Structure 1
Amino acid sequence: MQTLESLNQTLQTHDAVMLYFSAPTCNVCHALKPKLTEAIMDNFPSFVIENIDISETPEIASHFSVFAIPTVLIFFQGREFLRKSRHMSVGEVIEDIRRPYNLMLA
């Protein structure tokens, strides 16, 4: 099980991190997650992806001010760059992070 400390360590040691917040009862979360994960890994191989089940670790969701699911947080060099909740498409997430990713990591 993840802890806030382990997530903070991941954010400090990797240049590109995606946090994916979901819950077992969220059907949209389960439909979106494999598509988004595959698209991120295909387009941005340096990304580290962490999946957070808010039903198991509500304190992590609270720490990151996540109150709706699914929520995606994108971090570059430890700083939050992008936050998407509920209604998002895989294409829009990919396009939103393409330029900064390429500038920092290409």
Structure 2
Amino acid sequence: MQTLDTLNQTLHTHDAVMLYFSAPTCNVCHALKPKLTEAIMDNFPSFVIESIDISETPEIASHFSVFAIPTVLIFFQGREFLRKSRHMSIGEVTDAIARPYNLMVES
């Protein structure tokens, strides 16, 4: 099980991290997750993806101010860059992170 400490360590040791917040009762979460994960890994291979079940670890959701699911948080070099909740498309997420990701990887 994840803890806030392990997630913070991940955020500070990896340049590109996606946190995916969901719950077992969320059908949209389960439909979106595999497609979004595949798109991220295909286009941005150095991303680390962490899934957080808010029913198991509500304190993590609270710490990141996540109150709706699914929620995706994108971090670059430990700083939150993008936050998308509920209604999002895979293209929206990948388009938003393409330029900063490519700049980070090239430098």
Q: TM-score, normalised by structure 1?
A: 0.99
Amino acid at match of 1:48: V
Give 1:66's aligned residue. Answer: 66
- Secondary structure of the residue aligned to 2:80 is strand
Give 1:9's aligned residue. Answer: 9
CA distance in 1, matches of 2:31, 2:90: 11
Give 1:97's aligned residue. Answer: 97
Offset at 1:105? 1.1
- Percent identical: 90
Give 1:22's aligned residue. Answer: 22
Paired positions, count: 106
> Stretches of 4+ moved more than 6 A in 1?
none
- The Cα RMSD (Å) is 0.4
1:27-68 residue CA offsets vs partner (Å, 9 max, x unmatched): 000000000000000000000000000000000000000000
CA distance in 2, matches of 1:58, 1:92: 27
Give 2:76's aligned residue. Answer: 76
CA distance in 2, matches of 1:35, 1:92: 13
CA distance in 1, matches of 2:96, 2:103: 13
